[in-house]
Amino acid sequence: MDNKHIEMRGVRKSYRFFTLDDLSLDLEPGQIMGFVGPNGAGKSTTIRLAMGLIAADAGEVRLLGHLLPENQAIAKRDVGFVSDEMRLFAHATVGWHMNFIASIYPGWDAKYAATLIKRFNLKPEQPVKGLSHGEHVKALLMLSLARRPRVLILDEPTSGLDPVARHELLTEFMDVLRDDSRSILFSSHNTVDVERISDRIVFIDRGRIVDSRDKEDFLERWRRIQLQLAPGAILPELPNIVGRVVDGQFVTLTTNHFSNDLLARLGPTVREVHRMSLEEIFVASVFHHREVAGQ
């Protein structure tokens, strides 16, 4: 049974100054996937590949089971895409865009569109050129959501938005996921948003996937452990330690594979054990990955 919404296998895309390589990911129905990376990591390139907007040099990309970019027209009937680079027609009104989209997509849900207009406090008669950045993003999202696509692909949807607008957007995303046959892939460098609503998280840096797993798994595996060694004592070699800072008798370890066995091995030297936020985990993973790769 192959019902993955997005499937990328061993994908490569080379540009003169940037290469995305060995990229594999799966978006399952009912899932929100957060795609996190620093600027220039390859988030947008990946999203363009997932939308069939560009062709991979190697590997395979499938969207709702359809091979891309060949079959993108069929696949995209059921996909909504919003990027913060997208622009609506400046001289047309929001309502004109709604009629336009409704005329193309038979699945347009006028009632839901009206609800979203109200929730987002948009006015159909307003010309696009008078919209603020936040309103523009909300209008784009409303136009996508009201088609009720099975997959939503969102490139930095919350970037540049104020906290209230961000909250409104996240609420709408979670509302979509009440239906377990739908899914969302969104990229962001806002780790707070990602930590809150994602089921699955993918870290990307310099064109490579650094780590990819369920969110709870990330949060369970990473810990910062503070130790106080006896004077003159030397810390034994330990597995799964990705960071070690020594300051006299005090040592701070970062592990990506926390377990009670590790604690038992450290014994009474342990002073404190701290959980890490997704942002701390992300930064530590990226630095660890660069170190291992010798960059």
- Which residues contact another protein (rule: CB under 8 A)? 30-32, 167, 170-171, 174-175, 177-180, 192, 196-200, 214-216, 219, 260-261, 264-265, 267, 274-275
Q: Torsion over CA of 173, 178, 179 and 184, rounded to 10 degrees?
A: 30
Tell me whether residue 104 or residue 264 sits nearer to another protein (CB atom): 264
Least CB distance to another protein at residue 219 (A): 6
List, in order, residues 6 or more apart from 29 with CB less than 8 Å away: 3, 4, 5, 150, 180, 181, 182, 183
Least CB distance to another protein at residue 11 (A): 25
Tell me whether residue 123 or residue 213 sits nearer to another protein (CB atom): 213
Least CB distance to another protein at residue 280 (A): 12
Spatial distance between the Cα atoms of 205 and 62, rounded to a whole number of angstroms: 23
Tell me whether residue 260 or residue 295 sits nearer to another protein (CB atom): 260
Spatial distance between the Cα atoms of 185 and 99, rounded to a whole number of angstroms: 26
Least CB distance to another protein at residue 176 (A): 9
Least CB distance to another protein at residue 25 (A): 16
Spatial distance between the Cα atoms of 290 and 203, rounded to a whole number of angstroms: 13
CA 288 vs CA 155, 243, 254: distances in Å: 26, 8, 10
Least CB distance to another protein at residue 174 (A): 4
- Three-class SS of residue 24? strand
Tell me whether residue 97 or residue 182 sits nearer to another protein (CB atom): 182
Spatial distance between the Cα atoms of 131 and 93, rounded to a whole number of angstroms: 10
Spatial distance between the Cα atoms of 99 and 102, rounded to a whole number of angstroms: 5
**Measuring CA to CA, which residue among 71, 51, 69, 56 is closest to residue 22?**
56
Only one residue has tokens 């404190």, namely 272
Tell me whether residue 123 or residue 275 sits nearer to another protein (CB atom): 275
Tell me whether residue 20 or residue 262 sits nearer to another protein (CB atom): 262
Tell me whether residue 22 or residue 109 sits nearer to another protein (CB atom): 109
Give the single-character DSSP code of 126: S
Least CB distance to another protein at residue 171 (A): 6
Angle subtended at Cα 42 by Cα 36 and Cα 46, rounded to the nearest 5 degrees: 90
Least CB distance to another protein at residue 170 (A): 5
Spatial distance between the Cα atoms of 210 and 206, rounded to a whole number of angstroms: 9
Spatial distance between the Cα atoms of 207 and 205, rounded to a whole number of angstroms: 6
Strands 58-63 and 6-14, by their bridges, are: antiparallel
Tell me whether residue 32 or residue 202 sits nearer to another protein (CB atom): 32
